[in-house]
Homo-oligomer: A and B are copies of this chain.
Amino acid sequence: MTSRRSGRRPGDPDTKGAILDSARELFARDGFDKTSVRAIAADAGVDAALVHHYFGTKHKLFLDAVAIPIDPTVILGQLNSVDVHDLGAHLLRTVLGIWDGELQSAGVALLKTNLAAPDSAMIRSFIAEIILTNIATRIDDDTDVRTSLLASQMLGVLVTRYVIRLEPIASMSVDDVVAKVGPTLQRYLTGEL
């Protein structure tokens, strides 16, 4: 294998970093769907097979590129057995369970960094193409409108509770937040708009 950019080889410790750099650049520029592993490999000067070897799927490469320590599609997959009419509360409970735990500081750092980024393409692509497409499969009508409304309330909870730490929402129990905000999410998913 020959590198077009800097003679990188599979064993080179910088090769993974170069692939991640290229991935971040291309995902941010073109979004998740329109970026191919082949294009990332070409940009990094390696073979596409090496990218798959290091990172697995394009999906996993994206999560590594944005430094997300869990795979949200696995979490969302666990909600597939939940009745769609209970999905709002379950989704919120699941997200709060993760953010209230040991991943909170990583989550806050990621959210702050991505919200402040000059170009919002990375976080937009993550939310739209990884999170919301997954949820959209559960609902029948107006999926784009419904899932973007859901995102607005979900992000609003994350920002006020964990980033701004506005009281009392910052200190409310998960049960309490779910009781109060769950109906909003459920209306956005399946209710009258």
Contacts and interface: CB of A to CB of B under 8 A. Distances in A.
A53 to B, nearest CB: 33
Contacts of A164: 115, 120, 123-124, 127, 155
B152 A156 contact: yes
A124 B165 contact: yes
Interface string A143-172: 011001101111111011101111111001
B168 A145 contact: yes
A41 interface: no
Copies in the complex: 2
A39 interface: no
Contacts of A180: 145, 149, 188, 193
18 contacts: A113-B116, A115-B116, A115-B159, A120-B164, A124-B165, A124-B166, A144-B168, A145-B169, A148-B167, A149-B180, A151-B169, A152-B153, A152-B157, A152-B159, A152-B161, A155-B159, A155-B164, A183-B187
5 A-B pairs with least C-beta separation: A156-B156, A116-B116, A148-B169, A152-B156, A152-B160
Interface of A: 112-113, 115-116, 120, 123-124, 127-128, 144-145, 148-149, 151-157, 159-161, 163-169, 172, 179-181, 183-184, 187-188, 193
